[in-house]
Amino acid sequence: MLNLNSRLARVAISIAKHLSTRDYTSMCRAGYTPTAHLQPLFQQNSLTNLYKGSMFKKHNFLSTTTSNNTAEGGSEQNETISVTFVDKDGEEKLIKVPIGMSMLEAAHQNDIELEGACEGSLACSTCHVIVMDVEYYNKLEDPTDEENDMLDLAFGLCETSRLGCQVIATPELDGVRLALPAATRNFAVDGYVPKPH
Amino acid sequence: MRIFRARKLLCRSFSNTLHSEPLRVCVVGSGPAGCYTAEKMLKAREQAQVDIIDRLPTPFGLVRSGVAPDHPETKIVVNQFSRVAQHERCSFFGNVTLGSSVSLSELRRLYHVVVLAYGAESDRNLGIPGENLKGVLSAREFVWWYNGHPDGQNLDPDLKSTDTAVILGQGNVALDVARILLRPTSELATTDIASHALATLEESSIRVVYLVGRRGPAQAACTAKELREVLGIKNLDISIQESDLILTPADEEELKSNRIHRRIFELLSKAATSRPRHAGLNQRRLHFVFFRKPDSFQESKDNTGHVSGVRFEKTVLESVGPGKQIAVGTGEFEDIKCGIVLKSIGYKSVPVDGLPFDHKKGIVPNDEGRVLSDTSDTAALEEGLYVCGWLKRGPTGIVATNLYCAEETVSSILEDLENGVLISSTAALKPGRNGLLKLMHDRNVRIVSFNDWEKIDSEERRLGSSRNKPREKLATWNELLTATAEGTEYST
């Protein structure tokens, strides 16, 4: 009985995850009416600071994950994990990231210089981060085709590269270290600099 | 190549006193290169005053006039660029043209630092017979046309007298053009495509499009997202010859170390084998043709002066270095009949008076963004003059490429400020913004401010909302300038 429930829960979680990440992003790509209406949303956000990403107030729903849908209760919302960002000069910054928030949003909220040209809609590679420890990289779900398409274009791409807008804080990522690409110029496995357009 | 002046100590004391005098920077061009450069300069120098000028009344360069209408997510970056233009130490001046409203030498007298980021508004030519026939167009002009660029209004492509279009090139612009020609117009109707283009496309008789490349599928210049998208168009037959997909050892070597090309090749291979043929009238078809180099354009016998086809020479690949193969003609020819040809073989920058130019590469000679006096080994630095974006690197890359390009140029500027290379220009008090405004006023140049652009923006969005489009672009100079003169009726 217990086994069936937990299996059902896992299926439910994977469906919820699929719905919140996969289908949404494929909607973003197709350029159909839903996306066309999205654009005004982004444009209407008021911003007071040049470098802060307060547009992410509306962007929150792009980073929903299963954590918000589990049966574990509301206390999940207040839990945070520790994430260390290492900038291109090697300087480290330890921040607390609420479960369910994307690394891109967390970076912006903490004044970390991670670009986000397309504001999390999988249309650029500027939020490229490198997961410094392979064990943490392996804990992440495989990137979708859409993410891989964008990673193709990322500068300084490595074996453990991911897009910051697609890495969502979960309890098992507590302690993860993320490097901003210029910091690891020497580590780039695929040294080829892409020149498409 | 860099010339280091040995006046560091003297310069430091000068620069200390100069810190009260703001650094006055002019960026020419408000596309990604210009906006990223402005953003980084503003951040790097707390006192810097940055003016961005653009010949159009609308900012954002190719983000507005190049990115396809069905790629709205790629345009989201304008939010970031808007914040730059609205920064208290930044001003946008539209409708100001380098070369006619103000000369390069005048700008260099007005500002401490001038960064040219005006991109590439011309085309590479094939230089083959028939290139001037009617119906042979550049993809750049076609893109301007469907994106409502005010200089693209009069293109008037004839899409009604033929069912076949040939596109030369297989980069992302070529794919954009193919997609706009083949996509059901009902899908385009809810994008920001220019309405004159939508009307023409709705009456288009084009059903077959050829995307032709000189080399093979392992060298195709497009990227995965765009290829995936075109292969996924509803009810579109894709035709790829399986024999073209055979890889040589040199191809395999190339693919081994190149993730982008590897994934493109995989997508093309899958498309070649797994597509079922659709039957039916009006069936739309996209052919990927490889190993064909255009030799000449053929003139129609019934419709003189008009193109009726392209003669291609078959090619084979020859290795010219590690990981680099070029297409070499075999002397065997093949014709593809068509009524319209779109050349998507690359853009080219346009020089201005007083600007050193490398005509062979189509860029401004530079060293990490510092403009050089010529292309020789003994070139001198042009003090205070810098370059960024396509004008610096050539017409390649994506929006984000300019992020790194701007970083490099700004880095060079900051280094030059530190090392005293800019000393003679920064020592002088420069009129900057006020000087430019006065000059434009004296010349009756009607500057379009960022606020004025916002009136255009509001009006476009207002017009679009009644047509279920994100915006209805104002596609003529007259409409654009009139909208800036409108009262604050629609301003938010």
Amino acid at B469: K
- If one compares B353 and A60, the residue with the highest pLDDT of the two is B353
Count other C-beta atoms under 10 Å from residue A77's C-beta.
11
Structure tokens at B381: 């630095």
> CB of B13 within 8 Å of any CB in chain A?
no
Amino acid at B327: A
Please give the C-alpha separations between residue B437 and each of B57, B59, B266, B475, in angstroms, as whole numbers: 16, 18, 55, 27
**A83/chain B closest Cα distance in angstroms:** 25
pLDDT value for B420: 86
**A120/chain B closest Cα distance in angstroms:** 9
Report chain A's mean pLDDT, rounded to a whole number: 70
Helix (H) or strand (E) holding A10: helix A2-17
Q: Which of A35, A152, A192 sits opposite B223 (nearest CB)?
A: A152
Could you tell me the residue range of the domain that residue A97 belongs to?
80-179
> CB of B89 within 8 Å of any CB in chain A?
no
pLDDT digits (tens, 9 = 90+) for A27-37: 323 333 333 33
Q: Let me know if residue A8 belongs to a domain.
A: no
Residue B81's closest chain A neighbor by CA?
A: A117
Residue B344's closest chain A neighbor by CA?
A: A197
pLDDT value for B422: 83
CA–CA distance, B292 with B211 (Å, rounded to integer): 10
Neighboring chain B residues of A36 at a CB cutoff of 8 Å:
72, 190-191, 468-470
pLDDT digits (tens, 9 = 90+) for B349-390: 999 999 999 999 999 999 999 999 999 999 999 999 999 999
Neighboring chain B residues of A149 at a CB cutoff of 8 Å:
223-225, 228, 263
Q: Are the beta carbons of A119 and B396 separated by less than 8 Å?
A: no
**B70/chain A closest Cα distance in angstroms:** 5
Whether the per-residue pLDDT at A55 is higher than 50: the answer is: no
The rounded radius of gyration (Å) of the Cα atoms in chain A is 17
pLDDT digits (tens, 9 = 90+) for A156-165: 899 999 999 9
pLDDT value for A191: 35
pLDDT value for A51: 40
Which residues of chain B register pLDDT less than 50?
Answer: 16-17, 488-492
> CB of A121 within 8 Å of any CB in chain B?
yes
Of A54-63, A128-137, B474-483, give the lowest mean pLDDT range. Answer: A54-63
Q: Let me know if residue A43 belongs to a domain.
A: no
Whether the per-residue pLDDT at A44 is higher than 60: the answer is: no
CATH for A101: 3.10.20.30
Between residues 222 and 251 of chain B, which touch chain A (CB distance below 8 Å)?
Answer: 222-225, 228-229
> CB of A4 within 8 Å of any CB in chain B?
no
pLDDT value for B424: 66
Query: How big is chain B, counted in residues?
Result: 492
Q: Let me know if residue A25 belongs to a domain.
A: no
Q: Let me know if residue A29 belongs to a domain.
A: no
Neighboring chain A residues of B39 at a CB cutoff of 8 Å:
50
Q: Are the beta carbons of B259 and A190 separated by less than 8 Å?
A: yes
Q: Let me know if residue A45 belongs to a domain.
A: no
DSSP 8-state code for residue A23: I
Whether the per-residue pLDDT at A42 is higher than 70: the answer is: no
Q: Which of B172, B187, B470 sits opposite A40 (nearest CB)?
A: B470
DSSP per-residue string spanning A27-81: HHHHT-HHHHHHHHHHHH---S-SS--TTHHHHGGGG--GGGTSTT-GGGGG-EE
Q: Are the beta carbons of A31 and B72 separated by less than 8 Å?
A: yes
Q: How do strand B49-54 and strand B90-94 relate by DSSP bridges?
A: parallel
pLDDT value for B8: 53
Determine the average pLDDT of the residues in A101-114: 96
pTM as predicted: 0.84
Whether the per-residue pLDDT at A94 is higher than 60: the answer is: yes
CA–CA distance, B327 with B341 (Å, rounded to integer): 21
> CB of A113 within 8 Å of any CB in chain B?
no
Alpha-helical (H) ranges within B128-210 are 139-146, 172-182, 185-188, 195-202
pLDDT value for A122: 95
Neighboring chain B residues of A190 at a CB cutoff of 8 Å:
257-259
**B65/chain A closest Cα distance in angstroms:** 14
Report the DSSP beta bridge partners of residue B372. B381
Between residues 155 and 214 of chain B, which touch chain A (CB distance below 8 Å)?
Answer: 171-173, 187, 190-191
Whether the per-residue pLDDT at A185 is higher than 60: the answer is: no
Q: Let me know if residue A68 belongs to a domain.
A: no
Q: Are the beta carbons of B76 and A47 separated by less than 8 Å?
A: no
Neighboring chain A residues of B225 at a CB cutoff of 8 Å:
29, 146, 149-150
**B301/chain A closest Cα distance in angstroms:** 37
Q: Let me know if residue A62 belongs to a domain.
A: no
> CB of A25 within 8 Å of any CB in chain B?
no
- If one compares A127 and A192, the residue with the highest pLDDT of the two is A127
Helix (H) or strand (E) holding B410: helix B401-419
CA–CA distance, B421 with B186 (Å, rounded to integer): 57
**A6/chain B closest Cα distance in angstroms:** 37
Q: Let me know if residue A196 belongs to a domain.
A: no
Q: What is the ipTM of this complex?
A: 0.88
Neighboring chain A residues of B396 at a CB cutoff of 8 Å:
195-197
pLDDT band at A66 (very low <50, low <70, confident <90, very high): very low
Number of domains in chain A: 1
Q: Which of B43, B79, B229 sits opposite A119 (nearest CB)?
A: B79
